[in-house]
Chain A
Amino acid sequence: MATWTWFHKLASPPYLYRTAGRLLPWLAIPAIVLTLAGAYGGLVRAPADYQQGEAFRIIYVHAPSAWLSLMAYTVMAAAAAVGLIWRMKLAHALAAATAPIGASFTLLCLATGSLWGRPMWGTWWVWDARLTSQLILFFLYLGYMALHSAYDDTQRADRAAGLLAVVGIVNVPIIHFSVYWWNTLHQGSTVLRADGPAMPPSMLVPLLVSFAGYTLGYAALACVRLRAEVLGRERNASWLQELGRG
């Protein structure tokens, strides 16, 4: 039972607000260092690909942004589900805080994919399964944010947008497995493969460093946005009186 104490504490707005504030520097500084190190490794240290040449270096921004877009959506849908099932309002706050971060990195994934597709496939865009399902993910994020802002009542907004987030989770495995289920122009997984990554360490290490940097970057950004959500939802709470005095 004691192992769940930390989880129950997260339902307390002042505890969550302060914890997110304390975690922020521990997430943001490593995120900046790792993201810059990953970009340096990808641009300078990694060798050129024997087939794609230097164009393959786009992978060091494209793959981490794709990973972040899927991870953020999974976090958003899980948080929305917790909010809907256990009526935990701070879980909805996390979902709302995650949506704009996830949407921006999904857009980055689509744009960098397009920039990579032009020299490799000879086209900016094709309606293949991976690209189309990733575009649907972007629309799901936009739909969540639009639905959430359509209601004045926060609880109704949380319920309506949360339901969309939960239903939309079906798209996440579709995106991941689309390259196996259908014939697509998009290459298969490079890192998350049953038989191990299809890259030599000199290419793989900067990519893993970028993954870590983007993941920590998401966590840091989510902490800032979550604190803003908590303040917005708790503005009449007595614990916020201390904020004015402090």
Chain B
Amino acid sequence: MEHFLAMGGYGRFVWPSYALALAVFAWNIVAARRSFTSARERALRTAAANRAAPTEPKT
């Protein structure tokens, strides 16, 4: 295991690369979900406001 983690002396370059990849994937998932959730909430609020708004009487 120690041999595997050492990566032939390049562990301090190899592991941070994979950690960064994991961080970028995680950020993308969280940011995309957050962007969708907030857009959905805004859309729902607008839809509710549009339904509640009184329609103008026809003259």
Contacts and interface: CB of A to CB of B under 8 A. Distances in A.
Interface in B8-44: 8-11, 13-14, 16-18, 20-21, 24-25, 27-29, 31-33, 35-36, 38-40, 42-44
Given A108-B24, A228-B35, A235 B7 contact: no
Contact of A100 (B4, B14, B21, B31): B31
Contact of B32 (A65, A111, A112, A225): A225
B7 A57 contact: yes
A232 interface: yes
A229 B33 CA distance: 12
A127 B26 CA distance: 30
Interface string A91-116: 00000000011001101100110011
Contact of A115 (B17, B24, B44, B51): B17
Secondary structure dominating the interface of A: helix
B22 to A, nearest CB: 9
Contacts of B24: 65, 104-105, 107-108
Given A232-B39, A244-B48, A221 B29 contact: yes
Query: Looking at chain B, what size class is its interface with the partner chain?
Result: 20 to 34
Contacts of A118: 13
A236 to B, nearest CB: 6
A221 B28 CA distance: 7
A224 B7 contact: no
Contact of A232 (B14, B20, B42): B42
Given A231-B42, A244-B47, A221 B32 contact: yes
Interface stretch (A48-56, A82-90, A158-166, A167-175): A48-56
Contacts of A105: 24
A48 B20 contact: no
B35 A225 contact: yes
B17 A58 contact: yes
A192 interface: no
Interface of B: 4, 7-11, 13-14, 16-18, 20-21, 24-25, 27-29, 31-33, 35-36, 38-40, 42-44, 46-48, 50-51
Given A100-B31, A224-B33, 11 more contacts: A58-B14, A104-B24, A108-B20, A108-B21, A111-B20, A221-B29, A234-B43, A235-B47, A241-B47, A241-B51, A243-B43
14 contacts: A48-B8, A54-B7, A54-B9, A57-B14, A61-B20, A61-B21, A105-B24, A107-B24, A108-B20, A112-B20, A224-B32, A225-B32, A232-B43, A236-B50
In the A-B complex, the 4 residue pairs with the closest CB atoms: A54-B8, A244-B47, A231-B39, A55-B10
